Structure 1
Amino acid sequence: MKPFVQIASRPEDDVALTERASVLSFSGLDEDELIWARLDRDPFPDLHAEDISGIILCGSPFTVSDPAGSKSAAEKRAEAEVFRILDRIIAEDIPFLGACYGIGTLGTHQGAVIDRLHGEPLGAIEVSLTAAGREDPLVLEAGLSGTFTGLVGHKEAVRTLPEHATALATGGTAPVQMFRVGTRQYATQFHPELDIPSIIERARVYRDHGYFSPDEMEDIFLALRSRTADEPPRLLRAFAQLFAR
């Protein structure tokens, strides 16, 4: 099998390593089947479409819709690199699954309006598939229910999609929870790479990054521990199974 590529842009090594482990576990891929490209440290490797099965873009502390003047040099560099990669993904029809930062970058690249109007507090929400979502090949491969629990916590979200994009899921504060462009490029607002323990672990790292009030952290964690969110991770395994070649 040709490998997949996981793109990461988290400068915190502990979070990046945990995210890597989650993607491997939920996708069912082995280490040598998932190239790890950390854009916070290195340029994207010189890979060609014919050499890989697909690309997975994970979350990030970076926020696409922030003013350029507020972004660090590292954020600007990573964002520019992601947009260059997306140019190739669209032009060469490379299978793509973007989570969290992926919905902001793919959305912006394709002409969606991304802003803070529908930003979401950290928590578990009910996500509902659209009519198109219920017929989508990746969703069907994952066996997602018509309504399922998703884990969120984002400063920005899609306000409007371009006409050529297909909304696949909606729910919570953000009306676009998942969309597709073309037939093989996907993005999710909810986190398919997280379960309840891992989102709590990540939230502890980012407690002072503005995703929630630190004073409310333990109450948020208590609410999260009362939920289960076992369906979204199926998307990673389904993506690997559907597009492996």
Structure 2
Amino acid sequence: MKPFLILQLRPEDIASDGEFEAFLKYGGLSENQVHRVRMEREHVPLGMLDNYSGVMVGGGPSNVSDSLEKKTDTEKRFEHELRELLKEIVAHDFPYFGMCYGFGFLVQNTGGLVSKEKFSEPVCAVDITLREEALDDPLTQGLPHTFKAVVGHKEACQRLPDGAVWLASSVTCPYQMIRLKQNVYGAQFHPELDAQGVALRIDVYKYARYFPPEQAEELKVAFLKENIIIPTQILRRFVARYAVGM
């Protein structure tokens, strides 16, 4: 099969490697079925979509809505490259799944609005509710109407892009999953995370102001009690639907 392009932006090796391993595990992928690019270190491949089955963009400490003055030169560079790639993706309705940062980047660069004004969520498990539009979507049809998922973000979608199909919401953050055209997806929650994976991220981002650092151990214990199994099925469905033979 053609590989999936996995774009990451976590500068911490342990967090980046953990996210990558989660993409493989829950996507049902092997290392030779993906092309991994750490955007904070490498250039985003442009003009090469025909080489891939699809594109996945993960999360990280960067914020789409930060002013240019607050962004590092590295962030400015990979955001410019990712913006150019996204233009190609949307123009060709090419399979894309943006998660957390990858969701915000999709929204902000297709006519929606992302900011820190409201709808941020602390690191926690929330109830995601599927909307009527999700009933016949290939990634969500047949799933429970409500399920637990991991969230944790300082910025959020305030306004959807024109034409976006609104698939899922939560009480604290209305825009949790969308689709543009037929094949371009974004999720504010983490489809690649289970309880063990989030415990690792809690350790890595203990002092990143997502939560009071003294609550780290309490958070890990709480997550290990949660039944977080549905979001990873969405990731697996994305891979299964768009895997293309050579």
Q: Do the structures match in fold with TM over 0.5?
A: yes
What CA distance in whole angstroms lies between the structure 2 residues aligned with 1:46 and 1:170? 32
Work out the CA distance in 2 between the residues paired with 1:19 and 1:162.
27
Shift of 1:172: 3.5
Partners of 1:81 and 1:203 lie apart in 2 by 29
* Displacement of 1:15: 1.1
1:49 is displaced (CA, Å) by 2.4
2:119 corresponds to which letter in structure 1?
Answer: H
Between 61-70 and 216-225, report the one with greater CA deviation: 216-225
**Alpha-carbon distance between aligned partners in 1 of 2:80 and 2:50, rounded to the nearest angstrom:** 23
- One-letter amino acid of the structure 2 residue matched with residue 214 of structure 1: P
2:239 is the alignment partner of 1:240? yes
Aligned to 2:38: 38
Displacement of 1:46: 4.8
Task: For 1:225 and 1:21, locate their aligned partners in 2 and report how far apart those are by CA, in whole Å.
Answer: 19
2:134 corresponds to 1:139: no
Q: What is the rounded CA distance, in whole Å, between the counterparts of 1:12 and 1:81 in structure 2? A: 21
Q: 1:187-206, aligned counterparts within 5 Å?
A: 187-206=186-205
Question: Does residue 209 of structure 1 match 2:179?
Answer: no
Alignment of 1:2-81 (within 5 A): 2-46=2-46, 48-81=48-81
TM-score by length of structure 2 reads 0.95
Distance in 2 (CA, whole Å) between partners of 1:105 and 1:45 is: 17
- How big is each residue's C-alpha offset from its partner over 1:62-110, in whole Å with a ceiling of 9 and x where there is no partner? 0001122111111211221211110110112210001011111000011
Secondary structure at the aligned position of 1:233 is classed as helix
- CA positional deviation for 1:226: 1.7
CA distance in 1, matches of 2:20, 2:219: 25
Partner of 2:228: 229
Task: After TM superposition, give the deviation of residue 47 of structure 1 in Å.
Answer: 5.3
The worse-fitting range, judged by mean Cα deviation, of 47-56 and 12-21 is 47-56
- Residue 154 in 1 paired to residue 153 in 2? yes
Cα shift at 1:163: 2.8
Tell me the amino acid that sits aligned with residue 201 of structure 2. Answer: R
Deviations 1:170-192 (A, max 9, x none): 00311111001101000001101
Percent sequence identity over aligned pairs: 37
Mean CA deviation greater in 73-82 or 93-102: 73-82
- Aligned-partner Cα distance in 2 for 1:224–1:85: 35
The answer to whether 1:93 aligns with 2:93 is: yes
Q: Distance in 2 between matches of 1:139 and 1:34?
A: 23
CA root-mean-square deviation: 1.2
Supply the distance in 1 between the matched residues of 2:49 and 2:169 (Cα, whole angstroms). 31
Q: Work out the number of aligned pairs and report it.
A: 243
2:133, 2:160 → 1: CA distance?
Answer: 15
2:128 is aligned with what amino acid?
A: V
Rounded Cα–Cα distance in structure 2 between residues aligned with 1:102 and 1:42: 17
**Separation in 1, partners of 2:178, 2:139:** 11
Once residues 221 and 168 of structure 2 are traced to their aligned partners in structure 1, the CA distance between those partners, rounded to angstroms, is 26
Q: Displaced runs of 4+ in structure 1, greater than 3 A? A: none
8 Å contact from structure 1 (residues 123, 151) kept in 2: yes
Q: Which amino acid aligns with 2:213?
A: P
The CA deviation at 1:57 is: 0.6
